[in-house]
Structure 1
Amino acid sequence: MLRPDIGTPASYTFPKPRRITVGGGTVVAIDVPGQRLASLRLVHPYGGAVEPLDAMGVSSLTSEVLEDGPAGNSSLAPALERHGAEWVSRVNWDGFITGLDAPANRLGEAVRLFADAVRRPALAPDDIVRRRDQLLERFWLEAASASTLAMRSLGGQLFTGRYATPLAGGPVRLAEVEPETVAAFHADSIASVAGTLVVVGDLSGVDLEDLGKTVFGDAAATPVREVAAPAPPPGELPRVLIVDRPGSVQSALVIAHRAPSRSQVDLPRAEGISEVLGGLFTSRLNMELRERLGYTYGAGSRFDLRRDSGVFFATTQVEADTTAHSITASLEQIAKLRSSGVTAEELASVRDSNTVGLPVSYSTARAMASALVDMVVHDLPDDYVDRHRAGYEALTEDKLNSAAEEYLHPEEAVVVVVGDAERLSGPLADIGAGPVEVRSPESLWS
């Protein structure tokens, strides 16, 4: 039997959302006929980046505590389950996002529970302390992964201020957040601020204005967030930080430098060159470190772009004795990409990977809601997805080559290595990637 020919990829247009103002808030909705599982997300502009330095981690802790519900003691999840709904809550650097996924025909009942959980949670001191202790325990459990520890060590090497400490506050600062601090943060930043409500699903029979009234109540309009680029820490660039794990036979390494903010970056060009370097299986780093040298199971790279700044990083894990060469080989690949540019095959791979699969990528209410949340957090236009697709379709080799020069700066990089310092210090000092500093994990966020 012959394999059928591959047809021309279908074009994709992201549905245009409907926007309505309700009280102090805005509802942004997409009606998807037949999509019986609806996704609802409430966006507040109070992520980790705007936390005061004496309350770092308060947004993450508050996000956790809201799941205890209006009655406290983890009461929300079983209450929502009676309506077939699932609670959603997450915090990133730029946003505080709560929400639920629920059958569209039971959205009204579930949203009333949701509104109570967001606006009128119990915030019992015992629940807050329990959740704080769980977050602290989780921090060190997750930091048992060398790659996680390397990423969490990165902020203090690239920024001063809030970004120098991990999003959840770090083990020292988070432990200092008291129940009264959580209650004050919730009252000032969540309960009294309307936010933006995202709703996606089969909305036939759903009264969006009534939904907005239920969620927003009499909360005030969301204030405009001030944006200012954070300062870098003192110290020579490039440089190397070894986070010491005595006896480790492997090393987790990150090569990273600062990048512009989301609004300052031509995203298709930036993401495209990152994919050529480390975002695809056929990327330069993967082919060099995995396929040719056999040092790793995989290597990658990407941009983390925020409202006021950004980070570019390349990551991998290797055997300890190959750490130094893995770093120099990675830096050589970046230099080669900047000097020689991309190939026609690499350009085609980047374009196809970001356009052909869009109908599948946005086939669920959750995926569409996630795109709308991104638009809200970063003040993007309603046709952003279509502009983004068009940007990839318009990519050329010259555009990617210029992106390599504009967005990749190994001369400004910090290399973070989690591994055995006694074994690594000498070889890493010899590779010319800058001065080498050794720290223990416990000393990073004190």
Structure 2
Amino acid sequence: MTDTVTTQPVPPHRTAEEIGRTPLGPRPLPPLGEQRPAGELSSVDTVLPNGLRVIAVRRAAVPIVEVRLRIPFGSPSAADAPGHAARAEVLANTLLTGTARRDRVQLDTDLALVGGDLGTVVDPERLSIGGSALASGLDTLLDVLADVLTGAVHSDEETARERDRLVERITLARSQPSVIAREALQRRRYGDHPFSVEVPEAALVAQVTAEQVRDLHRGSVLPRGSVLVLVGDVDPERVVAQVGGALSGWAGQDAARELSPLPPVVGGDLLLVDRPGAVQSQIRLSSQAIARTDPRYPALQLANMVFGGFFSSRLVENIREDKGYTYSARSYLEFTPSGATLLVDADTASEVTAAAVLETRYELGRLGLVPPAGEELETARRYAVGSLLTATSSQAGLASFLANLAVAGLGVDWLRGYPTRLAEVTAEQVAQAALEFFAPSAFTGVVVGDAGRLAPQFHALGGVTLP
């Protein structure tokens, strides 16, 4: 006797458009829910005797504590910036490879026993150390952190190993179109300022010695001027006392080195950077913006949302949805030591690069001449508030956000009040921000691509310096 298998008919395939429609027309979208403000955050914001600013925040969602340390790590001069960047990268990669008390394995083991981890990253502005642990293991996490800050040995063997790995990674990274475009944009915006050296030369990294790294650690890994943020299932007052005890041995008379002020971004022609044989181009535009502390900042953020800050923005609708010039286009605010800049990014096929630049310029001008109002502005406002609440809803997200605010001298109070400030922005204020910050003449930047194919297009378009 055999089993009888009954097969079910396969339903016909429906497209996304068909799924979204009914016989009476498109399915109506559900109404947006009311935006809820962030809950009250119990916090302490203080400066320890060694000059370290500590921000401790209670968020008891899960029994974990997130830690973010930001140490100013600027280059002493523009002339030394390339060498400093190379030494700083090696330092960041060897910071957790052993101390006088713990070797690399013991560091990892002690953290693992409390469900913890630590990681490091460095940029032209700061050395950052971040991680987390079970709240019950905070003492261990702080002890490991203190050990690393005061006792990292940067041994010859570990330095050589990490240096060789860095050389390989940097060599690969510098061949990527996005890195080439970023470096070209930084040089276009800031010239030889140390801020423009984000990825060191592999040849300079290869020359870094362990003794140079140890000297850099002694002279630059300093508490005064640094910021430590802790967020989690903790009592803020008690946490500050724990940090004060654990890091009491981290000291220094000098302050950590802040990056020198940046020159303002000045509008002008784009620069065409030749990448022979490239089938795609990277478009990178930038202009000067303002700091979060400026009263005009909320209006600027909403204007940016409308222009290119989310998927339903004007720029995306134009060069992605309507014309298909790019898969992704965006505009965003990048915060710098002197405030902020506006950036516009898009990657396009070579044959439509000039057309994409033209349409981007058109949308920049249209934002000021036809400013957002009504539903367009309210959608952007809801998205901005919702994105902020989403980004800070987790302990990790809140810790990172507060660490970035702290670098600008801000804290929990700024975060508490910002949704209200966004809600109070008027259409007239957004229109003024659009005129002031999105004028096409305010932007400069670069286009990276095959100059042989792009030069004739840009010669006709104008506003682009050819190689």
From the superposition, tell whether residues 216 and 47 of structure 1 become closer, same or farther in structure 2 (CA, over 3 Å): farther
Aligned position for 1:91: 122
Q: Distance in 2 between matches of 1:166 and 1:213?
A: 37
- Counterpart of 2:448 (choices 398, 415, 418) is 418
Query: Given the alignment of the two structures, is residue 230 of structure 1 paired with residue 262 of structure 2, yes or no?
Result: yes
1:399 equivalent in structure 2: 429
List runs of 5+ in structure 1 lacking aligned partners: 438-446
Q: How many angstroms does 1:191 deviate by?
A: 5.0
User: Partners of 2:358 and 2:295 in 1: how far apart?
Assistant: 27
Q: Give the counterpart letter for 2:252 in structure 1.
A: A
Task: Give the counterpart letter for 2:140 in structure 1.
Answer: E
Which residue number corresponds to residue 10 of structure 1?
36
Distance 2:257 2:32 in 1: 48
TM-superposition CA deviations, 1:8-30 (whole Å, max 9, x none): 33222451421344431343211
Q: SS of the counterpart of 1:154?
A: helix
Tell me which residue corresponds to 1:380. Answer: 410
Alignment of 1:50-89 (within 5 A): 52-53=80-81, 54-70=83-99, 71=102, 76-89=107-120
- Structure 1 residues 156, 359: CA separation in 2 closer, same or farther (over 3 Å shift)? closer
- In the TM superposition, residue 135 of structure 1 has moved relative to its aligned partner by 2.7
* 1:208 correspondence with 2:240: yes
Moved more, 314-323 or 266-275: 266-275
C-alpha spacing 1:311/1:39, structure 2 compared with 1 (3 Å):
same
Q: In terms of mean alpha carbon deviation, does 317-326 or 3-12 score higher? A: 3-12
- 2:221 is aligned, of 187, 190, 204, to 190
Alignment match, 2:282 = 252
TM-score by length of 2: 0.83
Deviation of residue 56 (structure 1)?
2.7
- How many Å separate the matches in 2 of 1:298 and 1:42? 33
Deviations 1:350-369 (A, max 9, x none): 21012235544323221221
Report the CA distance between 1:75 and its aligned residue.
Answer: 5.8
1:112 and 2:143 are equivalent in the alignment: yes
Q: Which position in structure 1 is the counterpart of 2:189?
A: 158
Aligned residue number for residue 443 of structure 1: none
Deviation at 1:162, TM superposition (A): 3.0
Task: Confirm whether residue 30 of structure 1 aligns to residue 60 of structure 2.
Answer: no
In structure 2, what is the Cα distance between the partners aligned to 1:298 and 1:104?
Answer: 40
- CA deviations 1:65-99 (Å, max 9, x no partner) are 11213155576334422321011323344332213
Aligned residue among 280, 300, 313 for 2:330: 300
Q: Where does residue 441 of structure 1 map in the other structure?
A: none
In the TM superposition, residue 187 of structure 1 has moved relative to its aligned partner by: 0.7
1:45 corresponds to which residue? 72
CA deviation after TM superposition for structure 1 residue 50, in Å = 7.5
Moved more, 148-157 or 318-327: 148-157
The change in CA–CA distance for 1:285 and 1:216 in structure 2 (over 3 A counts) is farther
**Which residue number in structure 2 is paired with residue 131 of structure 1?**
162
Q: Which amino acid in the other structure matches residue 108 of structure 1?
A: D
Between the aligned partners of 1:211 and 1:164, the Cα distance in structure 2 is 31
Where does residue 283 of structure 1 map in the other structure? 313
Contact 1:194–1:220, Cα closer than 8 Å, also in 2: no
SS in 1 for 2:445: strand
203, 215, 220: which one pairs with 2:252?
A: 220
Instruction: Measure the CA separation in 2 of the matches of 1:163 and 1:140.
Output: 20
Listed one character per residue, the Cα deviations across residues 135-176 of structure 1 (whole Å, up to 9, x for unaligned) are: 332233234432332122211111133346332334455445
User: Which is further off, 223-232 or 99-108?
Assistant: 223-232
The letter of the residue matching 2:398 is M
User: Which residue in the other structure is 1:121 paired with?
Assistant: 152
Alignment of 1:258-407 (within 5 A): 258-260=288-290, 263=293, 266-356=296-386, 358-407=388-437
Q: Secondary structure at the match of 1:430?
A: helix
The change in CA–CA distance for 1:175 and 1:393 in structure 2 (over 3 A counts) is farther
Residues in 1 aligned to 2:29 and 2:324: alpha-carbon distance in whole angstroms: 34
Following superposition, the deviation at residue 370 of structure 1 comes to 1.3
- Counterpart residue type for residue 59 of structure 1: A
CA 1:230–1:357: 2 relative to 1, 3 Å = closer
Equivalent-residue separation in structure 1 for 2:435 and 2:356 (angstroms): 22
Aligned equivalents of 1:363, 1:191: Cα separation in 2: 31
Letter in 2 for 1:37: I
Q: Greater CA deviation, 151-160 or 236-245? A: 236-245
**1:19 corresponds to:** 45
Distance 1:11 1:389 in 2: 7
Give the direction of change, closer, same or farther, for the CA distance of 1:428–1:357 in structure 2 (3 Å limit).
closer
Compute the displacement of 1:123 (Å). Answer: 0.7
Q: 1:63 to 1:55 in 2, by over 3 A?
A: same
Displacement of 1:385: 0.6
Deviates more, 1:37-46 or 1:53-62: 53-62
- Secondary structure at the residue paired with 1:17? strand
**Which shows bigger deviation, 410-419 or 365-374?**
410-419
Aligned residue for 1:101? 132
Where structure 2 has 5 or more consecutive residues not aligned to the other structure, the ranges are 1-27
**Structure 1 stretch 5-14 or stretch 99-108: which is displaced more?**
5-14
Cα distance 1:164–1:409, how it changes in 2: closer, same or farther (>3 A)? farther
SS in 2 for 1:38: strand
Tell me the distance in 2 between the aligned counterparts of 1:126 and 1:191.
25
Aligned residues: 434
CA separation in 2, counterparts of 1:265 and 1:125? 51
User: What SS does structure 2 have at the residue aligned with 1:77?
Assistant: helix
Q: How big is each residue's C-alpha offset from its partner over 1:35-77, in whole Å with a ceiling of 9 and x where there is no partner?
A: 3111122222225697842423433332221121315557633
What secondary structure, in the 3-state scheme, does the structure 1 residue paired with 2:188 have? helix
Native 8 Å contact 1:41 1:100 kept in 2:
yes
Indicate the SS of the match to 1:67. coil
Q: Deviations over 1:284-332 (max 9, x none)?
A: 1111101111111121011212122543221111111001111111111
